[in-house]
Structure 1
Amino acid sequence: MIETSLRRRQRLIFIVFSLLLLGTIIISIGLGPASLSYDRLLPTLFGQGSFKEEFVLFSLRLPRILITVLAGMALSLSGAILQGITRNELADPGIIGINTGAGVAIAAFFLYFPVDVGAFIYGLPVAAFIGALITAIAIYALSYDRVRGLQPIRLILTGVGFSMALSGIMVVLISSARREKVDFIAKWLAGNIWGTDWTFVYALLPWLLILVPFTFYKANKLNLLALNEPVAIGVGVAIEKERIQLLLAAVALAASAVSVTGGIAFIGLMAPHIARALVGPRHQLFLPIAVLIGGWLLVLADTIGRNIADPQGIPAGIVVAIIGAPYFIYLLSKK
């Protein structure tokens, strides 16, 4: 039973972050080389703008912003799941190598499996999922002890090792590739939001429409998995079955996000931590807040990156890393 005061606090924080996300989106729409004045935003949104205004809003800004919101939500939810099933608050798909595994699969798919543009867009999340899943299974297997169960610290160290090894494989893959293909992969590695039209929104959206409700449905199971294993078993949780299902969901969320945004880390680390600090450790309370914070953080990072330097700006992944790396060190020293 969740106290009424906690429910009320959660709703208030949810409203605050919803307004913060909406405000950041509005600011982001009006900033950039092709500007759109804020007093023309609503008329343009309702079809009363000029050709230029409608092009800037519907072809340039809205698709990119929606992609960053959806990807930030997916990464934050993936991080929250990983932290719950591993009982390790430092778990994040970018830190423990899942994103890098997806990146290797994307690089191989891009370099060696040429397909037409339409199939490529929808095949990319699938390729990323396969690479991330293989990496996650390997990390999980090497972090698991038959007597003591999953070892959280071993998982982090194994994941970091896998991330470094997979980065080396990525270098080998692109060493003989053509210049234009190397440029694409380099931008992906930096966390450059490269999927910026409506097709990528349609490719990413179905993954979230399925996996976000699934994760919210499993919130109570995540609460139990966050306890120690004897307690979870004692209340009737099929630990391995639930972990595998939730691990698949976390991998799919991370893979679908990074397939269109590039290698972005730390969103899945920071958003769940901030949400837990605000509303407590119960997943029913903090998951919706974490999803909102993840979307807001990535939109904010992309908005700053797009406008802080000309002409190309700074990739969102680098902006997030500038914020997230010190936060990770702080958590590491604290925990």
Structure 2
Amino acid sequence: MNLDSLFDVQRKRNRHRYLIIGIFFFLIVVTFFISLNTGLTKLSPLEVLKTLVGSGTEQQSLILFEFRLPRIVIAVLVGAGLALSGCILQGISRNALADPGILGINSGAALMVVVFISFFPKTTDAPILLMPFLALIGGCATAIVIYALSYSKREGLMPQRLILNGIAVAAGISALITILTLRMDPFDYQFIAVWLAGKIWGTTWIHVLTLVPWVIVLFTFIFYKARMLDGLNFGEKLAIGMGVKVEKERFLLLGASVALASACVSVSGGIGFVGLVGPHLARQFVGNDHRFLLPLSALAGGLILLVADTIGRTILAPSEIHAGIMVAIIGAPYFLYLLARAKA
């Protein structure tokens, strides 16, 4: 096969990848409008369109702009953020089972949020704006502990030990969270119990505005590092031979992953498995090229969480199944499947 033929094959492959990304984006848009139409108070597609252009009633505007729309936006942003975080962790550890929830990063971020809610009111704007920073402290501290326990001077970062240490640390943090909840008043305890179950509790525009700066900055940095993740996938020795400062890049990418997961957890609650399933689903369609894998992982994660939240709040209406539970129904069997395949 000559060089021109190779370029033709690559162009066709890239066109296919762009098509897949476009299809996932279209699916998010469709699900977005379906979610706007569904809820305890029914709004027809025509009523939704009229309300979006400013011709709806006051009640319809309240339902759409103050209740449904910010929650939908949060679901998409959180799903995309968690999936991107998982994609980075899988790339730097070269472990298909890496995920911010499984590794305990989500638990570390949750611990700081629980501590904060235990001592300060959560009804004012200032605490809401502070929560991503506090979650980042918890997530970073957890990541440092897990990284230190999984690192060997002789072998470097050991992917299998990373998973085991993450599960162990997450279990310890969960026990500590349980202890902290015992001192709470009934109202705060109920809030924390629902939050840890994976309810998207950040459903106002202040929560959207709190998360958006983190998403913009971290998404930009992560996409800029796509080629670096490709280099790390070749293995540590080959990456060093290519001139990559492996430990420095791993540290920067790990920091971005932790920050993104922590910011998402601070406004969404304890939602797991999105960071595992999203990148795996994307990898089935576009392979390991991170120029395409990263954006498709973000779209897949956003779609998964949006679908889960939409189904959860409508299937048993007026009762609600939290998005974290709906995702776990999908993610837990998929995690067991990956473990079984790894053994095989």
Which residue does the alignment assign to 1:83?
90
Once the two structures are superposed, residues 58-104 of structure 1 have per-residue CA deviations (whole angstroms, 9 ceiling, x without a partner) of 01110000000000010000000000111101000011100000111
Q: Which residue type is aligned with residue 241 of structure 1?
A: K
RMSD of aligned alpha carbons: 1.2
Once the two structures are superposed, residues 145-191 of structure 1 have per-residue CA deviations (whole angstroms, 9 ceiling, x without a partner) of 11011110100000000110000000111111111111111111100
Which residue does the alignment assign to 2:72?
65
Q: Which residue type is aligned with residue 180 of structure 1?
A: F
CA displacement at 1:10 relative to structure 2: 1.2
What is the rounded CA distance, in whole Å, between the counterparts of 2:302 and 2:235 in structure 1?
A: 31
Which residue does the alignment assign to 1:272?
279
Which residue does the alignment assign to 2:3?
none
Instruction: Please give the TM-score of this superposition, normalised by the length of structure 1.
Output: 0.98
Which residue does the alignment assign to 2:267?
260
Consecutive unaligned residues of structure 2, counting only runs of 5 or more, are 1-6
What is the rounded CA distance, in whole Å, between the counterparts of 1:177 and 1:3 in structure 2?
A: 58
The answer to whether the Cα contact below 8 Å between 1:267 and 1:297 also exists between their aligned partners in 2 is yes
| Residues 102-117 of structure 1 mapped to structure 2, 5 A cutoff | 102-114=109-121, 117=124
Which residue does the alignment assign to 2:298?
291
Count of residues paired in the alignment? 335
What is the rounded CA distance, in whole Å, between the counterparts of 2:20 and 2:178 in structure 1?
A: 43
The answer to whether the Cα contact below 8 Å between 1:36 and 1:56 also exists between their aligned partners in 2 is no
Which residue does the alignment assign to 1:248?
255
Identity of aligned residues (%): 49
| Match for residue 48 of structure 2 among 24, 34, 41 | 41
Once the two structures are superposed, residues 98-141 of structure 1 have per-residue CA deviations (whole angstroms, 9 ceiling, x without a partner) of 00001111000111244761111110111111000000010001
Q: Which residue type is aligned with residue 176 of structure 2?
A: I
What is the rounded CA distance, in whole Å, between the counterparts of 1:113 and 1:206 in structure 2?
A: 24
Which residue does the alignment assign to 2:228?
221
Q: Which residue type is aligned with residue 158 of structure 2?
A: Q
Which residue does the alignment assign to 1:231?
238
CA displacement at 1:227 relative to structure 2: 1.9
What is the rounded CA distance, in whole Å, between the counterparts of 2:243 and 2:135 in structure 1?
A: 34
What is the rounded CA distance, in whole Å, between the counterparts of 1:248 and 1:170 in structure 2?
A: 24
What is the rounded CA distance, in whole Å, between the counterparts of 1:213 and 1:3 in structure 2?
A: 25
Q: Which residue type is aligned with residue 21 of structure 1?
A: I
1:15 correspondence with 2:22? yes
Consecutive unaligned residues of structure 1, counting only runs of 5 or more, are none
Instruction: Please give the TM-score of this superposition, normalised by the length of structure 2.
Output: 0.95
The answer to whether the Cα contact below 8 Å between 2:99 and 2:275 also exists between their aligned partners in 1 is yes
What is the rounded CA distance, in whole Å, between the counterparts of 2:190 and 2:152 in structure 1?
A: 41
What is the rounded CA distance, in whole Å, between the counterparts of 1:103 and 1:54 in structure 2?
A: 33
CA displacement at 1:42 relative to structure 2: 1.6
Q: Which residue type is aligned with residue 332 of structure 2?
A: A
The answer to whether the Cα contact below 8 Å between 1:77 and 1:287 also exists between their aligned partners in 2 is yes
The answer to whether the Cα contact below 8 Å between 2:122 and 2:128 also exists between their aligned partners in 1 is no
What is the rounded CA distance, in whole Å, between the counterparts of 2:122 and 2:58 in structure 1?
A: 33
1:128 correspondence with 2:135? yes
What is the rounded CA distance, in whole Å, between the counterparts of 2:18 and 2:59 in structure 1?
A: 39
